[in-house]
Amino acid sequence: MIRILVVDDHRLVRAGIVQLLEEADDIEVVGEAGDGLEAIEQVAALQPDLVLMDLSMPRLDGRAATERIVSDNEHARVVVLTSFSDREDVLKALDAGAVGYLLKDAPPEELVAGIRSAARDELPLAPRAARELVGAWRGTRGSTDLTAREMDVLVLLADGLPNKVIAHHLGISEKTVKAHVTQIFQALGVTDRTQAALWVTRNGLSAHWQARRERLRTGQA
């Protein structure tokens, strides 16, 4: 059973999330919190397996609460759940120790799947959010966000796979992979595969894309 603490300052939103999660046989909502300070207290008292954390809250926001929770609890897992209105807040929450990021407007099954993924230490990141985060991390290095397929290529490229093997995993031609690699280099402002792999590592994407990489390599994506 996955024991969850739901943190959101809006009671109706929180109630809806709780109701949704309680429909899952393997999830138990053990507590709720309306702000970051209350979340810290509840984590200490309840020791949940996972904290579903809103970002914009009174008294103490989700980023600061995440940092405190992760610092005080070695095994704490925090998944950010919010609308994607402020990318900088999301990036700060991930830097603070959140293991993943899910969108409030995601389909219910995606939310539940993300929670299960986090419980398995697979570090969930909503695909739509991932595309936005690439653009945010890239800063001023380009104006065109990577497509979902380019992100897949980048994940495998950063793992050291050659174009031929990447093509096999993704079910596309080697020529298409080369075209994607060229676009990725231009978008990231790098000139070779080593620089691209370093860019992924330096920007903290390798950990958040670990599960995605494994699914791609095993043909389960």
139: left (phi over 0), alpha (psi -120 to 50) or beta: left
CA distance 110 to 152: 19
DSSP 28-83: EEEEEESSHHHHHHHHHHH--SEEEE-SS-SSS-HHHHHHHHHHH-TT--EEEEE-
pLDDT level of residue 198 (50, 70, 90 thresholds):
confident
Class for domain 2-124, per CATH?
Answer: alpha beta
Would you say residue 127 has pLDDT above 80? no
Secondary structure letter of residue 145 according to DSSP: P
Poorest-pLDDT segment among 117-121, 137-141, 146-150, 215-219: 137-141
Residue 143 pLDDT: 38
Q: Where exactly are the structural domains of the chain?
A: 2-124, 131-217
177 burial level (CB within 10 Å; 0-12, 13-18, 19+): buried
Express each pLDDT in 128-182 by its tens digit: 555 555 555 444 344 346 776 788 788 888 777 889 988 888 888 888 999 889 8
CATH code at 131-217: 1.10.10.10
First-to-final CA distance of the chain: 26
Express each pLDDT in 65-105 by its tens digit: 999 998 888 788 899 887 755 566 777 777 778 877 888 88
Contact 27, 119 (CB under 8 A): no
Chain-centroid distance, C-alpha 96: 13
CA distance 93 to 81: 11
CA distance 58 to 64: 11
Q: Both tokens of residue 185?
A: 């280099």
Contacts of 141 (CB under 8 A, 6+ apart): 187, 188, 189
Express each pLDDT in 38-68 by its tens digit: 999 999 999 999 999 999 899 999 999 999 9
Match 């290095």 to its residue by tokens.
141
Whole-model pTM over 0.85: no
| Maximum separation of any 2 CA atoms in the chain, in Å | 56
Contacts of 136 (CB under 8 A, 6+ apart): 87, 88, 90, 91
Residue 189 pLDDT: 79
